[in-house]
Amino acid sequence: MIARTLLLLTLCGLTLTACDRVDPNSPLGQRKALFKQMLNTSEDLGGMLRGRIGFDEQRFAEGAVKLDQLSRQPWQHFPQVREENSSARDEVWQRQERFDQLARDLEASTAALVAASAQTPLKTAALAAPVDRVEKACKACHEEFRVY
Nearby residues of 101 by Cβ (< 8 Å), 6 or more positions away: none
Told to check if 42 binds ligand HEC by CB under 6 A, we report: yes
Whether the Cβ atoms of residue 40 and residue 96 lie closer than 8 Å to each other: no
Minimum distance between the CB of residue 53 and ligand HEC, rounded to whole angstroms?
17
Told to check if 106 binds ligand HEC by CB under 6 A, we report: yes
Told to check if 95 binds ligand HEC by CB under 6 A, we report: no
Return the residues of window 66-85 that contact ligand HEC according to CB under 6 A.
71
Q: Give the span between the Cα atoms of 66 and 108, in whole angstroms.
A: 14
**What amino acid is encoded at 29 in this protein?**
G
Residue 49: which of 105, 130, 106 has the closest Cα?
Answer: 130
Told to check if 88 binds ligand HEC by CB under 6 A, we report: yes
Minimum distance between the CB of residue 107 and ligand HEC, rounded to whole angstroms?
8
- Binding-site positions for heme c read 138, 141-142
Told to check if 34 binds ligand HEC by CB under 6 A, we report: no
Told to check if 127 binds ligand HEC by CB under 6 A, we report: no
Told to check if 131 binds ligand HEC by CB under 6 A, we report: no
Return the residues of window 1-20 that contact ligand HEC according to CB under 6 A.
none
Question: Which own/partner pairs from 116-124 qualify as long-range (CB within 8 Å, at least 24 positions apart)?
Answer: 116/64, 117/60, 117/61, 117/64, 118/61, 120/57, 120/61, 121/57, 122/57, 122/60, 122/61, 124/48, 124/49, 124/55
Q: Which of 49, 92, 108, 119 binds ligand HEC (CB under 6 A)?
A: 92
Residue 33: which of 84, 80, 70 has the closest Cα?
Answer: 70
Provide the binding-site residues for ligand HEC, judged by CB under 6 A: 28, 31-32, 35-36, 38-39, 42, 71, 86-88, 92, 99, 102-103, 106, 134, 137-138, 141-142, 145-146
